[in-house]
A = this chain, B = another copy of it.
Amino acid sequence: MIKMVEGFPSTFGDDYQLNTNEFIRYAATTFPEVEVISRNLDGTLMRYNYEKAYARVGKLANALKKLGVKPGDRIGVMEWNTHRFFELYLAISGIGAVLLQINPRISDEDRSYVINHAGATVICISESMVSLIESVQEELDNVREYIILHDEKQNIIKTKLTPAHDYETLLEPESSQYDWPMINECSAYSGAYTSGTTGKPKAVYYSHRTICLHTLCLSTLCSINANDVLMQIVPMFHCHGWGVFFCAALTGAKLVFSGKYTAEETQPLVDLLISEKVTMTCGAPAIFMPMLHYIKTLKDKPHFNNLRMLSGATAPPVSVMKDYAAMGADIIHAYGATETTPIVSLNFLKPSLAHLPEEEKWALRLKQGCPVPFVSWKLLDGNGKEVPRDGESVGEGHYRGPWITASYYDDERSKDAFTEDGYWKSGDALTMDKYGYLKVTDRFKDVIKSGGEWISSIDLENAIMAHPHVVEASVAGIPHPKWEERPLALVVLNNTARDVTEEDILNFIMPKFAKWQLPDRILFVDAIPKTSVGKFSKKDIRKEYGNFYSQQ
Contact surface of A with B, Cβ cutoff 8 Å: 1-18, 22-23, 26, 29-34, 71-74, 96-98, 181-189, 191, 203-210, 212-213, 216-217, 219-221, 223-227, 250-252, 341, 348, 350-352, 370-371, 373-374, 376, 400-409, 422, 436
Contacts and interface: CB of A to CB of B under 8 A. Distances in A.
Contacts of A402: 12-14, 16, 18
B210 A351 contact: no
Contacts of A224: 220, 223
Question: How many copies of this chain does the complex contain?
Answer: 2
A192 B352 CA distance: 36
Given A5-B183, A13-B402, A13-B406, 13 more contacts: A6-B187, A7-B187, A8-B187, A9-B186, A9-B205, A9-B409, A10-B186, A11-B204, A14-B185, A26-B373, A213-B216, A216-B217, A221-B225
Contacts of A350: 31, 226, 252
Contacts of A4: 17, 181-184
B182 A33 contact: no
B205 A11 contact: yes
Contacts of A252: 350
A183 B12 contact: no
13 contacts: A2-B15, A10-B188, A12-B209, A12-B210, A14-B186, A14-B402, A18-B213, A29-B436, A31-B350, A31-B436, A219-B220, A220-B220, A220-B250
Contact of A7 (B13, B96, B226, B403): B96
Contacts of A182: 2-5
Nearest to A212: B374
A436 B5 contact: no
Given A5-B71, A227-B351, A352-B34, A11 B374 contact: no
